[in-house]
Amino acid sequence: MNIEDASFYSEEEVIKNEKDLVVERVPTGIPKLDELLQGGLPKRSITLVSGPPGSGKTMLCFHFVDEGIKRGERCLYITVDQWVNSILVHSHAAGFNFLPAIDNGLFKLMHVDLEKVSAYNEISDEILTGGYQRIVVDSLSPFADTPLVLGGSVEFEKAPIIDKLSAYPSETRPVARFHVRRLFDFLHKVPTTAMVTSELFDRTHSLSRDSVSEFLADGVILLDVDPTMDRRKLTIWKMRGTKHTLKPHDVLITEQGLVFKNELR
Amino acid sequence: MNEELKAGVGLSRKWDAREAGREVALSALKHLDGENPKFFLLFSTIHYEKYGGFQELLNGVWDVLPEGTPLMGGTVAGFMNNYGCYTRGATALAVSYPNMDVAIGVGKNTKRNPKNAVKECISTLKIQNPDFYIELVSGPIIPTFPGIGKQTVIKSGLLGKTMEKAIPTLFKSNMGTDRADEILDFLTDYINAPLLGAVCYDDGKASKNYQFYGKEVLDNSMVLMGIKGFKPNFETVSALVPRNIRISVSLKADRRTCTKINNNEATTELYKILGWNEENIREVERFYSQAFYYPFGYYENDKVHVVMLGLILGKDVYFANRIKSNELELFGLTGEKILSESEKIFSKESNLMYGVICETYIETLGNKIYDLKNLIASSTKDYLMVFGGGESIINENRIPHHLYESINILRI
Amino acid sequence: MNSDDPLLKILEDLLKLDDIYACMIARRNMVSVMPDTNLFNQKIMDVWDIVSVAMKNVFGIIEEYTSVGLDVMEFRLKNHSVLFFVIPETDNALVAIIPSLANKGLIEVEMENARREIVEILNREEEELVKA
């Protein structure tokens, strides 16, 4: 990752029309969740879906994308850790068939290799030029973990010039913030509604692995799992512009995907 | 004899009283291999009051129990049986044996007039020379004093004296101490066989308790079952440990009201000995939660007779039961001691055991009560132990004891 | 009430006891099974926030010592006691909030019964999974 690519600070376009102040909703594909969100995710928002492995983050993303496809919206699914075929198989096992949408151009599955220098360019090109209404980034964690190589005479805002990578390790917050902000900035530049996932192992200190994205995201949905009691919980931790309960809800992973337990009755 | 004796222990954990009654009866009777029971003991915790009522509980039992079966029982704080340990639910013991005769007597208004209650009970008990008795007596009700409500600590001396005078009135209103010790004394005038008795109780609040007699739900009553046909063994054990603190008490004629301890004002001296802070024990719950674990007592025929603290009436201390000795000792109770003493009594093998244990034991042990259950289960086929508010025993030597904080059993 | 969920039913039964103000099955940072909070005694509301935070610390201890036999934990907060009955071989506990002056021994018996039922259900589910 080269800092020369850091043309990520963009100027915000201030809203001028009153009609643009009304929050439009983007359904998630899970009816009960949409009910809790007053209709869905706020349009053009970025929602962080955070949780431990196996908690259902990817499943939630499948629902989101599937709903978009059903509505004729172009959807992009960026995967970092999993290969494209693995996603296709996994989603099919959960009851989603994305192949027809891929064939007709409504859906793109994109695997990004973060070890490539050109990774960010590939991502930004696809997001900025793809014309997607819905984007999923699964997951954000590898981005935040990517080390930052500083070189040449590029000025890095408010950071000292360093000449050794080890003096600025990748797990420090400023670097994670840099990556997350950069990605979020790409997403904000286009009229898209996005879902990004983050792994979470211990909710003692933060709601994401990078400890940053929960502050930068417009919304946070937390998924918890208790393997002993065989329970999964979904909590809407925050969602800007939305009146929502903070109560955890029991959810299940079924043949119909992610389902709220109450809906089964 | 043992092969012919059939016993069935029943349990219900249902909330609905009627359904619980049916279930507990069915589960007890199924062990009798089709035989009709000669008697049926029924116990439940106080919870059914809110979930249908005790009449419905009894109705449920009688939906199943053969007409005419002698039935007696009452409410208890908890029980322990083949199925487990419970402080919520209903349990029963049904016994059948070819040559057994059983009859039950009932006496009412035990607090108001224990002597008359015993007389009435004996007159209704239609059996000659039974081999042993099982007794249940209505338990204590924390009094509601006229004008001041439910109190255990009345600070003012003048008010205390006034309330002391109100105590007989409370008895007439069937409130106050159970007077089971007096009942036992009166009973010994009429009976000449071993007896095992329990004081009915609720969930430790001493607010209400009930007795069952046939198809009736009673309060402030006693029920007495006489059984002829076999002679079980009776045993008693106590886990109380003396603390080497001795006191001398000066008592009024009622043998309950203590005016002086160690020649000092009773209340002040009591607080000093027990390390109590008057403000901290004002609440009813706190008073009894402390009082039960600091019992005073005296020895009589090798048994520790506990005197239960009842009320603080100004400068005087009122005990719940009559004190037969002016020299008392302070005792303590620990879970470890309960388990070690229990081993002596429960390690012997038996086919059937029925027992009465003080509620303080289950309160002390908490979930460790299962250690006690495991002891019993390792040696006894069928058993039912109830946790009540006091224990009465007349053993094979015909010596009566009304005890607290003890374990008393009969075994076959 | 009258849930189909057997674990929830155990908790709802416990809640019917006067002296159990609230109960749940929880682990660190997650309440796995909780009855409708409308069934809780409203007296706990003044300590609920503190209890929620304290629970995280307690579960830290439970996680560390459950493997060496930690069985029950308790703390008192104002006029309440919070009981933790550890579910064996898990990081979970059955948690109950009761008045500090309650007859705790009697309540503990029913907490123990609830714990045993929970373990039975978990074992049964495990057996069914193995058979499948």
In terms of C-beta density within 10 A (0-12 exposed, 13-18 middle, 19 or more buried), how is residue B20 classed? buried
Q: Is C81 within a domain?
A: yes
| C28 vs A contacts (CB less than 8 Å) | 204
**Encoded tokens for A82:** 């999993």
Output the tens digit of pLDDT for each of chain B's 412 residues.
566 889 999 999 999 999 999 999 999 999 999 999 999 999 999 999 999 999 999 999 999 999 999 999 999 999 999 999 999 999 999 999 998 999 999 999 999 999 999 999 999 999 999 999 999 999 999 887 777 777 777 777 777 777 777 777 777 777 888 999 999 999 999 999 999 999 999 998 889 999 999 999 999 999 999 999 989 999 999 999 999 999 999 999 889 999 999 999 999 999 888 888 777 666 666 777 777 777 899 988 888 899 988 888 888 998 888 899 999 999 988 899 999 999 989 989 999 999 999 999 999 999 999 999 999 999 999 999 999 999 999 988 888 999 999 999 999 9
Mean pLDDT, residues A12-33: 84
Q: Is C50 within a domain?
A: yes
DSSP state of B36: P
pLDDT value of residue A49: 97
Q: Which residue segment(s) compose the domain that C121 sits in?
A: 6-131
Mean pLDDT, residues A234-253: 93
Alpha helices in chain A (DSSP H): 31-36, 57-70, 84-93, 99-103, 119-129, 141-145, 173-189, 213-216
Helices (H), strands (E): how many in chain C? Answer: 3, 5
Does chain B touch chain C (at least 3 C-beta pairs within 8 Å)? Answer: yes
| B369 vs C contacts (CB less than 8 Å) | 105, 109, 112
Using CA atoms in the order A62, A236, A22, A46, what is the torsion angle rounded to 10 degrees?
-50
Which CATH number does the domain housing residue C26 bear?
Answer: 3.30.450.30
A204, A226, A248 member nearest C27 (Cβ): A226
Mind telling me how many Å the CA of B14 is from chain C's nearest CA? 10
Residue B265 main-chain phi, psi, to 5 deg? -55, 130
Q: Is C24 within a domain?
A: yes
The interface residues of chain C toward chain B in range 4-23, judged by CB-CB distance below 8 A, are 13, 16-19
pLDDT in tens, C1-50: 556 899 999 999 999 999 999 999 999 888 999 999 999 999 998 888 88
pLDDT value of residue A11: 59
Instruction: Please state, in angstroms and rounded to a whole number, the distance separating the CA atoms of residues B296 and B329.
Output: 5
pLDDT value of residue A172: 57
**From A207, which residue of chain C is nearest by alpha-carbon distance?**
C29
Domains and CATH numbers, chain A: 47-223 (3.40.50.300)
Q: Is C116 within a domain?
A: yes
pLDDT value of residue A209: 78
**Encoded tokens for C41:** 């005694």
CB crowding C1-30: b at 16 or more within 10 Å, else e: eeeeeebbbbbbbbbebbbbbbbbbbbbeb
C16, C106, C112 member nearest B203 (Cβ): C106
Q: Is C44 within a domain?
A: yes
- Mutation choice for B interface testing from C73, C103, C107, C115 by most B CBs within 10 A: C103
Residue A225 main-chain phi, psi, to 5 deg? -140, 140
Domain tally, chain C: 1
**Encoded tokens for B8:** 């069935």
pLDDT value of residue A169: 53
Q: Is C1 within a domain?
A: no
DSSP state of B141: B
Peptide bond into A211 cis (omega under 30): no
pLDDT in tens, C85-113: 999 988 899 999 999 888 899 999 999 99
Mean pLDDT across chain A, nearest whole number? 83
| B87 vs C contacts (CB less than 8 Å) | 106-107, 109-110
Find the helix packing angle between C104-131 and B369-377, rounded to 10°: 70
Contact B367 C109 (CB under 8 A): yes
pLDDT value of residue A1: 42
Reported as type and span, the H/E element at residue B9 is: strand B6-12
What number is the ipTM of this complex?
A: 0.93
DSSP state of B376: H
Q: Is C80 within a domain?
A: yes
pLDDT value of residue C3: 64
Placement of tokens 């007096």 in the chain: B182
CB contact at 8 A, C81 and C107: no
pLDDT value of residue C123: 92
pLDDT value of residue A228: 87
pLDDT value of residue A164: 45
- Report CA B130 to chain centroid distance, whole Å: 22
Q: Is the pLDDT of residue A19 over 80?
A: no
pLDDT in tens, A150-182: 444 444 454 454 444 445 555 555 677 778 888
Instruction: Please state, in angstroms and rounded to a whole number, the distance separating the CA atoms of residues B2 and C17.
Output: 40
Residues of A with CB under 8 A from a CB of C: 202-204, 224, 226, 228-231, 233, 248, 265
pLDDT value of residue B294: 76
Instruction: Please state, in angstroms and rounded to a whole number, the distance separating the CA atoms of residues C83 and A239.
Output: 35
Q: Is the pLDDT of residue C115 over 80?
A: yes
Q: Is C126 within a domain?
A: yes
**Helix (H/G/I), strand (E/B), else coil: C83:** strand
End-to-end CA distance of chain A: 50
**Encoded tokens for A106:** 């409504």
